[in-house]
Amino acid sequence: MRIDVLTLFPEMFEGVFDASILGKARQKGIVTLEAINFREYSESKHKTVDDYPYGGGGGMVLKPEPVFSAVEDLHAQSKTTPRVVLMCPQGETFTQRKAEELAEEEHLVLICGHYEGYDERIREHLVTDELSIGDYVLTGGEIPAMAVIDSIVRLLPGVLGNESSAVTDSYSTGLLEHPHYTRPPEFRGWSVPETLLSGHHENIKRWRREQSLLRTLSRRPDLLADAELTDKERKWLAEQSVTTNRY
């Protein structure tokens, strides 16, 4: 897979692209990650990329020409037609389902806005998707792009050492994941649940499923409507009085 990010601040991606799981995925050749400064595509003498908004008001607006030229250049280099994703607080809210969908693509181009935003013609005529990472506004699309890239790359085959961990993660199953414990079995008087120490695989599996259902019921009951549950599980959930606190 190839992911190109169009940004005015490519240096922000240096550590992120080289560290941890993303760094390893690049080294293994599973993904090619490039941060491209679209200022290089400006044809003006001073490499200008923004201008005052028509109609007045504060803030600067990214001009269409450099962004269009950069995307068209990437189109020309690509063997496939890339999905062109605009990072945008007004876009579709990014979810695990969207990460799974985008992980199927061969080539993604992510555009990071900055300042007041971008010329509307970029949104109307250049992009295939608009993604928001939540209902809040950041100074630029770089941090949202990092979150989107990280969540996509970890889904690519061969990236996570333990393939099953992405499959059982929260949201992948439609539920929140069960709690985890490690050694020591007792810490400051707080014990690891007996079932996890029992070595009884069936009981552990059942305990984890129940915990996952209870967590989802107490923290994100909205997810249960679309989760794949058996009739027995739905009945069991209906019987539970939820005592778990929200965070």
List residues forming the annotated binding site for S-adenosyl-L-methionine: 113, 133-138
Does position 238 interact with ligand SAM (CB under 6 A)? The reply is no
| Active-site hit among 116, 130, 177, 210 | 116
- Is 64 annotated as catalytic? no
Which one-letter DSSP state was computed for residue 172?
A: T
The interface region with ligand SAM, picked from 111-119, 180-188, 205-213, 217-225 by CB under 6 A, is 111-119
Residue 58, φ and ψ in degrees, nearest 5: -80, 165
Does position 113 interact with ligand SAM (CB under 6 A)? The reply is yes
Q: Which helix (H) or strand (E) holds 149?
A: helix 142-153
Alpha carbon distance, N-terminus to C-terminus of the chain: 36
Cβ distance to ligand SAM smaller for residue 136 or 247: 136
Cβ distance to ligand SAM smaller for residue 20 or 139: 139
Does position 66 interact with ligand SAM (CB under 6 A)? The reply is no
Does position 82 interact with ligand SAM (CB under 6 A)? The reply is no
CB within 8 A of 146, min separation 6: which ones?
12, 13, 16
Does position 87 interact with ligand SAM (CB under 6 A)? The reply is yes
The interface region with ligand SAM, picked from 112-120, 152-160, 174-182, 209-217 by CB under 6 A, is 112-120
CB within 8 A of 32, min separation 6: which ones?
1, 2, 3, 26
Kindly list the distances between the CA atom of residue 60 and the CA atoms of 40, 48, 56, 159, in Å, as whole numbers in the listed order: 18, 11, 10, 39
Q: Which residues bind ligand SAM (CB under 6 A)?
A: 87-90, 112-114, 116-118, 132-134, 136-141, 144
Give the catalytic positions in this structure. Answer: 89, 116, 154, 169
